[in-house]
A and B are shown apart, each in its own frame.
Chain A
Amino acid sequence: MDTIGNEIIKGKTLVSDGAWGTFLQQMGLQPGECPESWNLKYPEKVLQIAQSYIDAGSDMIETNSFGGNSFKLSYFGLQDQVYELNKAAAEISRKAAGSEKHVLGSIGPTGKMLVMGDVTYEELYEAFKEQAIALEAGGADALIMETMSDIDEARAAVSACRENTSCEVICTMTFEKSGEGLFHTMMGVTPAEMVQAMIDAGATIIGANCGNGMENMIGITEEIRKTHLTIPVLIHANAGAPVYCNGETQFLETPDVTAGFVDQLISSGANIIGGCCGTTPDHIRAIVQKVKK
């Protein structure tokens, strides 16, 4: 299997997977229940999610490990199971991916704030290192930082992955529109600031995830491309902004709408396209049809 980076150098556009969190909720994950605990409790259900994205034609699949760092797991009393839960997450996704497709070990933020002195950089690094090693042991060939908003936390995560595994390292952050043509993370990081900092820390693929749908992602991709022409860019967009309706949260961007942005996203410079909250195997199928055309 070629690396993701090599496939992109050869000129391919790749398709990633869709939502995990909202999918798990549909399958019965309760509010307040630890999503990663399902990797050991209900591995067959987690496999079903991974398999449904592979069946939809994605080139890569993430793992159910977004909150799998010791800080997040400690809320559920599971901080001693970082290794087991993450290794299982990667094993499940590897089972669905087989040997020909990529497994991206998902790493989310800790929820701790460096600026407030909640935690030190070294503590963050150690937590990400522990998670990264377990994901690689379970069969991940790439690691993806997701929904990052603080540049230093993202740096700790990327460095920990780069220095302790041989996986490809992808870093995506979540940006909001903060003005005409302007985007910032919650912590004030711009796409341009992210690019150089993450490349310096050892990321070989960068991008954006979550947010308010595909349309903003085009502007974010353009911002990234203004600072770097060749770095592979991965985009995981939500199926629009969440809307609460009849007691249910819904994401209203349909597969057709999502797919309608794909050409523009590619021409603005994206190399890997997938989904975040609210996207389904149908969204991925629609993206695959556009990309492989």
Chain B
Amino acid sequence: MSPEELLAKLSECVEFGKVNKNAPFPPAMKGMDGADELTKQALDMGINPEVILNEALIKAMDRVGEKFNQKKIFVPQMLIAAKAMNVAMEHLKPFFSSGEVKRKGKFIIGTVAGDLHDIGKNLVAMIVEGAGWEVIDLGVDVSSAKFLKSISENPDAYVGLSALLTTTMKSMQNIVNEIKREHPSVKILIGGAPVTEQFRAEIGADGYSSNPQTAVAYLNAQLA
């Protein structure tokens, strides 16, 4: 296989969620090499890890995000694609730590205090990571103190807040206030089922995103 063919194959595995050779899903790719094997082969072949990231993984997750946005695929397909991406990413981690491959920036994300829902938050975290960002996931029920601590440790990071419950939107407002008071220049992106652009304007957050893809678009636009 040529490097181009290998990268195209890897990209396809990530897009359709073929994690590894043994993975039963998707049935059409049964018994074939998955994201795990192909990433290793690509590195063994001497393909630059940054090229693997950009040409195979990011492109795949971009297509996944777009299909999700168009409601052509749903949460399960997105999760399984993200799982394949994560497996591929494991092979690239050493190059991130060594600085050989640079990521776009850092993104701190969490579901706000009082809210235990993590599906939407996880989807955004996975797609943002798949778009080449380093993601620091603080989990669910995250207090403003926990966000502030993470921001102090990563002062150049962007911050994402998620809420599913209408009742925890108040909590989102409080956290935005606290962050803005301590770190006025940190950019905060908010999202979640009940959240709207109007609500964003009301509480003084910097961005609102209704789906993972627009969250990536917002973050990437900050670099331009």
**A contact set with B: CB distance below 8 Å:** 22, 25, 30-32, 75, 111, 113, 115-116, 149-150, 178-179, 182, 184-188, 242, 244, 247-249, 277
A30 to B167, CA, bound (A): 9
**Is A25's CB under 8 angstroms from B167's CB?**
yes
Which residues in B have some Cβ–Cβ distance to A below 8 Å?
71, 73-77, 79-80, 83, 113-119, 141, 165-171, 173, 194, 196, 198-199, 202
CA distance A187 to B123 in the complex (A): 13
Q: Are B79 and A115 in contact (CB under 8 A)?
A: yes
Q: Evaluate contact between B167 and A249: CB separation under 8 angstroms.
A: yes
Do B166 and A277 touch (CB < 8 A)?
yes
Q: Find B76's partner among A22, A25, A115 (CB 8 Å cutoff).
A: A115
CB atoms of B167 and A111 under 8 A apart:
no
Q: Is the interface of A mostly helix, strand, loop or mixed?
A: loop
Contact: A249 with B169, CB < 8 Å? yes
Residue of B nearest to A67 (CB): B116
- Known contacts A186-B75, A244-B199, A249-B194, A31 near B115 by CB under 8 Å: yes
Q: Are A116 and B116 in contact (CB under 8 A)?
A: no
Asked whether B117 lies within 8 Å of A187 as measured between CB atoms, the reply is no
Nearest chain A residue, comparing its CB with the CB of B76: A115
Tell me, in angstroms, the Cα distance from A67 to B116 when the chains sit together. Answer: 12
Please give 10 more A-B residue pairs, beta carbons under 8 A apart, in addition to A22-B166, A247-B170: A30-B114, A31-B170, A32-B114, A115-B80, A116-B79, A116-B80, A184-B71, A186-B75, A244-B199, A249-B167
Which chain A residues border B76 with CB–CB below 8 Å?
Answer: 115, 150, 187-188
**Are B83 and A116 interface neighbours, CB within 8 A?**
yes
Of the candidates A25, A113, A244, A248, the one whose C-beta lies within 8 Å of that of B79 is: A113
Known contacts being A75-B116, A188-B76, A242-B194, is A178 close to B166, with CB within 8 Å?
A: no
Q: Note all chain B residues with C-beta closer than 8 A to A149.
A: 75
Query: Can you list 15 A-B pairs with a CB-CB distance of less than 8 A?
Result: A22-B167, A31-B165, A32-B113, A75-B116, A115-B79, A116-B80, A116-B83, A178-B71, A184-B71, A184-B74, A186-B74, A186-B119, A244-B202, A249-B166, A249-B169
Instruction: Decide: B166 and A244 in contact? CB cutoff 8 A.
Output: yes
Q: Which residues of B contact A247 (CB under 8 A)?
A: 170, 173
A188 CA / B79 CA spacing, docked (Å): 12
Which interface residue of B76, B77, B80, B117 has the most chain A CB atoms within 10 A? B76
Given A113-B79, A116-B83, A188-B74: A31 and B113 interface contact (C-beta under 8 Å): yes
Q: Provide the bound-state CA to CA distance between A247 and B173, in Å.
A: 9
Judge whether A31 and B114 touch: CB under 8 Å: yes
**Shortest Cβ-Cβ A-B pairs, 10 listed:** A31-B114, A188-B74, A249-B166, A32-B114, A178-B71, A242-B166, A115-B76, A242-B194, A244-B199, A187-B75
Contacts of A277 in B (CB 8 A): 166
Question: A179 to chain B: which residues have CB within 8 Å?
Answer: 71
Of the listed residues B113, B167, B171, B194, the one surrounded by the most CB atoms of chain A closer than 10 A to its CB is B167
